[in-house]
Amino acid sequence: MPPFFRLLSEYFWLIALSFSAFNYRKARGAIATSQASKGAIYLQRFALCASLPWVVMGLGQILGFTPTIWHYFRPQDGNPFVIAWLAVILVLTCAYAWWVLFAGGAQKVRDLNLMAALGQHSSKPPSLLFVKLFAAFGPLFFPLWLYMVVSMNVPLPK
């Protein structure tokens, strides 16, 4: 296996955590000063939640349960870290959708520009409709994505 591909396969979780940290720092600098304290709390929560799947993946790889990222494309094998990774993503996606659609989170996401913590940096905040559609899309897309991953039956590198 070529060295770059090997590094990417084994340390993708670390790259993803680095992107989460980068997005957090960039978003933190973009918070309006008038709402800095309120925005910082939500931004920290967003950044923490965005990094949770990658922490689970990293633990699985560090502990030797999932040697490469490709194991996460085989949930049909029943690996506990793969199942935990999927469960974290599903729970976070559903919790975000509930908060945005039913608990007034869309307004907070727009006013505090919290989408920046997920890498969606923009000079103007997203519309409420975009925030709600983005939130609703997650729980709807997850089962489809899971079905596609299982049906691909990705071979594991040797």
What's the burial of 24, exposed, middle or buried (CB within 10 Å: 0-12/13-18/19+)?
A: buried
- pTM, two decimals, is 0.88
Cβ(87)–Cβ(60) below 8 Å:
no
Q: What is the pLDDT of residue 122?
A: 67
Residue 2 to residue 108: CA distance in whole angstroms: 45
Q: pLDDT means per 10 residues in the chain (158 residues)?
A: 85 94 82 68 89 97 94 94 97 96 92 76 80 94 94 84
Q: What is the pLDDT of residue 51?
A: 95
Taking every pair of C-alpha atoms in the chain, what is the biggest distance, in angstroms? 54
Q: What is the pLDDT of residue 24?
A: 86
Q: What is the pLDDT of residue 121?
A: 66
Q: What is the pLDDT of residue 123?
A: 67
Instruction: Please state the domain extents for the chain.
Output: 3-152
Residue 118 to residue 109: CA distance in whole angstroms: 11
Minimal CA–CA distance to 61: which of 8, 24, 99, 111? Answer: 8
Cβ(32)–Cβ(116) below 8 Å:
no
